[in-house]
Structure 1
Amino acid sequence: MRVVTISATYGTAGNVIGPAVAEMLGVPFVDRAIPGTVAEELGCTLEEALVHDDRAEHGIGRLLSGAMRLPTVTFGGVDTYLPGAMPTPPEEFVAHTEKVIRTTARARGGVILGRAGAIVLADHPGALHVRLDAPLERRIRQTAAFFDLGDREARRIVEDNDRARAAYVRHFYRADPGQPTLYHLVVDSTSIPVPACVELIASAAEAIG
């Protein structure tokens, strides 16, 4: 069973490349199903699970990147608290997210986008770990063109998302998601066309397995 993890900075088409790679390999694209499964296991609402998710628009990475402290979480050595403390510790959501990722990888394989997949599945036999990245200015231009935005708004979106996704990995795994040694393959998907990226990743996944 093929397993691919993809870490993608904003503006590198991870949400397009991921499903296309999964289709080419004949495995599931594992993204939106993760918070739903976590919510079911913990007996909480999907909304609460999404608050703690790496990929969600208002997920925990945004809180961490804003230097806001969550109850029971150490961040920057400052003891402050969010209003309306969450009833379930964030670490429990992260632990269940890891469990879902590992179970899925063992049971049926898949392409896993974000959620520190390269770290969670670092020891999974035959897994391919991919990083999609590109210079900031190219990612901003790509985002502006895709959403028909001005440069300033596109820059804000890209930088906010970058900070949030990096904060999640740094906080819970004490790692830099941009560290190339975490990955087998680092691809600039703003220079290499998306179809070529998909073929490259799929070929690498077949070769490494």
Structure 2
Amino acid sequence: MRVVTISATYGTAGSIIGPAVAERLGVPFVDRAIPSAVAQELGCSLEEVLVHDDRAEHGLGRLLSGAMRLPTVTFGGVDMYLPGAMPLAPEEFVNRIERMIKESARSTGGVFLGRAGALVLAEHPGALHVRLDAPLRRRVLQTASLADVSERAARKLVEDNDRARSAYVRHFYRADPADPQHYQLVLDSTMIPVGACVEIIVTAAEALA
């Protein structure tokens, strides 16, 4: 079974490339389904689980980028104000996420976007680990085009999400998500067309497996 992890900085079309690669390989695309599965297992609401999710619009990214700097909770090296107590210990959330990723990789294979998949599945045989990245300026322009927002709004989206996703990996895995040693393939999807990126990843995944 094919297993591909994709670490994507914001503005590199990871949410477009990931599903396309999964469809080509005939495996599930695993992204938003992970928090839902964790929420079901823990018996708590999806909203509560998303508080700790690095890809959630109203979760970690929003908290890290917009929180007041008060001496309350330190998360990923950032002092944050949190409205109410956390319903789930962050470490427990990440443990459940890791288990879901590993079980999915073993049982069905898949394309896993984000959530430090390259680190979680570092020892999974035959897995291809991909990094999508590009200079900030080009990612901002691509975000503005894809999201149909102003360049100023796009820059804020990119910078906020970069900060949140990097904090997640650094805090829980003590690793730099931009370090190329975690990946077999690093692509600039702001210069290489999305379709070509999909083709390259599919070819590499099939060759590796």
* TM-score interval, smaller chain: over 0.9
Task: Quote the sequence identity (%).
Answer: 70
Report the Cα offset of residue 82 of structure 1. Answer: 2.6
Residue matched to 2:179: 179
Residue matched to 2:45: 45
Deviation string 1:19-57 (CA, Å, 9 cap, x unpaired) is 000000000000111001000111111111111112111
AA matched with 1:102: K
Q: How many residues align?
A: 207
Mapped contact 2:72–2:82 kept (Cα < 8 A): yes
| Counterpart-to-counterpart distance in 2, 1:70 and 1:89 | 15
SS in 2 for 1:5: strand
Report the Cα offset of residue 63 of structure 1. Answer: 2.9
AA matched with 1:58: H
Residue matched to 1:139: 139
Mind listing any 5+ residue stretches in structure 1 that lack a counterpart? none
Mapped contact 1:50–1:59 kept (Cα < 8 A): yes
AA matched with 2:107: A
Mind listing any 5+ residue stretches in structure 2 that lack a counterpart? none
SS in 2 for 1:160: helix
Instruction: Report 1:65-80 matches (<5 A).
Output: 75-76=76-77
Mapped contact 2:5–2:111 kept (Cα < 8 A): yes
Residue matched to 1:189: 189
| Counterpart-to-counterpart distance in 2, 1:58 and 1:81 | 14
TM-score (ref. length: structure 1): 0.92
Please identify, of 52-61 and 86-95, the stretch whose mean Cα deviation from structure 2 is larger: 52-61
| Counterpart-to-counterpart distance in 2, 1:31 and 1:96 | 14
Residue matched to 1:107: 107
TM-score (ref. length: structure 2): 0.92
Mapped contact 2:76–2:167 kept (Cα < 8 A): no
Report the Cα offset of residue 76 of structure 1. Answer: 3.6
AA matched with 1:23: E
| Counterpart-to-counterpart distance in 1, 2:95 and 2:45 | 17
Mapped contact 2:61–2:165 kept (Cα < 8 A): yes
Mapped contact 1:22–1:28 kept (Cα < 8 A): yes
Residue matched to 1:158: 158
| Counterpart-to-counterpart distance in 2, 1:69 and 1:48 | 22
AA matched with 1:124: H
| Counterpart-to-counterpart distance in 2, 1:64 and 1:151 | 21
Deviation string 1:137-165 (CA, Å, 9 cap, x unpaired) is 00111111222222211111111111111
SS in 2 for 1:177: coil
